[in-house]
Amino acid sequence: MNRKKLQKLTDTLTKNCKHFNKFEVNCLINLFYNLVGEVTERQGITIGLDRNAFRNILHMTFGMTDDMIMDRVFRGFDKDNDGCVNVSEWIYGLSVFLRGTLEEKMKYCFEVFDLNGDGFISKEEMFHMLKNSLLKQPSEEDPDEGIKDLVEITLKKMDHDHDGKLSFSDYEQAVREETLLLEAFGPCLPDPKNHPQLFHSHPELMVILT
């Protein structure tokens, strides 16, 4: 990308981005194109990170290991559902992912956990996510029973209107009372402990994360 085009893109994205300044946006644009690799821009071809490339970044850079959650994070970034994260989706997604307010993070996490996108986190969705993210204990005869019990305990704690599922209102009220519940069904935000590894992999992010 030539300097003039890069400058225009940086200005546009900075104008619409809450949490990054111009220098940071420029760093993230450069990082994006480094991650995408040498791709010749062609009319009608979207340049971006496909599902596998994006999941690899989540795993290698942000220390994520849960396939189901990583897939949902990808969907959260890929706002136009075209199967790849373009440069603007990358910037706006990272804005919430790295520096979002509690309100923004609650909305993002809820969308990640709402597997079928119906506006509720159901018992079945909780079960699938918890089963996927909890460490399996080989001594347990029927680990599913323990997970079902955990779902019931979670509902008792978070389901304020007692309808057997979590609306965003239920989730928001629970998180405001206890912030640790933000990632109740799986880690979908970066772990600060992974930042040294992140700096080593991508030194240009040091200024953004410190």
* pLDDT at residue number 43: 45
Mean pLDDT (whole number) for 11-38: 90
Which of 126, 108, 116 minimizes the C-alpha distance to 166?
Answer: 126
CATH number at residue 168: 1.10.238.10
Q: Please check whether residues 109 and 96 belong to one and the same domain.
A: no
Q: Please check whether residues 139 and 90 belong to one and the same domain.
A: no
Q: Please check whether residues 61 and 86 belong to one and the same domain.
A: yes
Q: Please check whether residues 139 and 195 belong to one and the same domain.
A: no
Q: Please check whether residues 137 and 174 belong to one and the same domain.
A: yes
Range of the domain at 169: 103-181
Give the helix, strand, coil percentages of the chain, each rounded to 5: 65, 5, 30
Mean pLDDT (whole number) for 38-53: 69
* pLDDT at residue number 112: 96
Mean pLDDT computed over every residue of the chain: 86
Q: Please check whether residues 127 and 92 belong to one and the same domain.
A: no
Per the model's pLDDT, the better-predicted residue between 27 and 140 turns out to be 27
Q: Please check whether residues 96 and 197 belong to one and the same domain.
A: yes
Is residue 148 included in any domain, yes or no? Answer: yes
The alpha-carbon radius of gyration of the chain (Å, integer) is 19
Is residue 48 included in any domain, yes or no? Answer: yes
Is residue 186 included in any domain, yes or no? Answer: no
Amino acid at 26: N
* pLDDT at residue number 37: 78
Q: Please check whether residues 162 and 195 belong to one and the same domain.
A: no
Q: Please check whether residues 9 and 93 belong to one and the same domain.
A: yes
Q: Identify the weakest region by mean pLDDT among 24-28, 35-39, 43-47.
A: 43-47
> In whole angstroms, what is the distance from residue 62 CA to residue 16 CA?
25
Matching residue, tokens 């040294």: 196
What is the total count of domains within the chain? Answer: 2
* pLDDT at residue number 40: 47
Q: Please check whether residues 127 and 156 belong to one and the same domain.
A: yes
Q: Please check whether residues 44 and 93 belong to one and the same domain.
A: yes
Q: What tens digit of pLDDT does each residue of 117-161 get? A: 999 999 999 999 998 877 655 555 667 888 999 999 999 999 999
Q: What tens digit of pLDDT does each residue of 172-200 get? A: 999 999 999 999 999 999 876 655 455 45
Is residue 16 included in any domain, yes or no? Answer: yes
Task: Record the tokens describing residue 90, joined without a space.
Answer: 């990358």
* pLDDT at residue number 188: 93
∠ at Cα 26 (45, 110), nearest 5°?
A: 75
Is residue 157 included in any domain, yes or no? Answer: yes
